[in-house]
Amino acid sequence: MLDLKNNAPSTSESRKGKIFDLQNKDSKNQGVIDLVDLELDFLKHKETKGNLFPIDIYPKAIQEIIIEIHNKQVFPIDYLGSGILSAAATSIGKSYKIEVKKNGWEEKVNLFMVIVGQPGDAKTQALKFCYNPIQIK
């Protein structure tokens, strides 16, 4: 079966990793919930429920951009949604602080983002699209 997104073969090794294959062959771990079980549950949930990124947090115009680029460029919605959030946080930068306590304790706000995906999933291209409006040219 070919993965429609990037025409890469979809195998148990590429989908779930070598750990999955090794642990399934080991019968003494039956009845124990481990990281592989959680990963499988997540993948199953993602396939049945669709994309989990809540694009409704954005204004309607941004939602339309995300959906249009997803349809035209086949970038995953979660890559676009998190990339836009990261680009917005980057553009705000150090210009705002949060007052933690009334005694003058202020902290800068930071957002750390990691996009994890298979090779060829268009992670870099999606982030380039999201950061393009704020790039200095």
One-character DSSP codes across 2-46: B-TTT--B--HHHHH-HHHHHHHH-GGGTT---HHHHHHHHHHHH
- Across the strands, what pairs with 97? 108
Q: How do residues 71-113 score in pLDDT, each as one tens digit?
A: 999 888 899 999 999 999 999 888 888 888 889 898 888 889 9
Cβ–Cβ < 8 Å for 125, 70: no
* Contact assessment for residue 38 and residue 62, using Cβ atoms and an 8 Å cutoff: no
Confidence of residue 3 (pLDDT cuts 50, 70, 90): very low
Domain boundaries defined on the chain:
1-50, 53-137
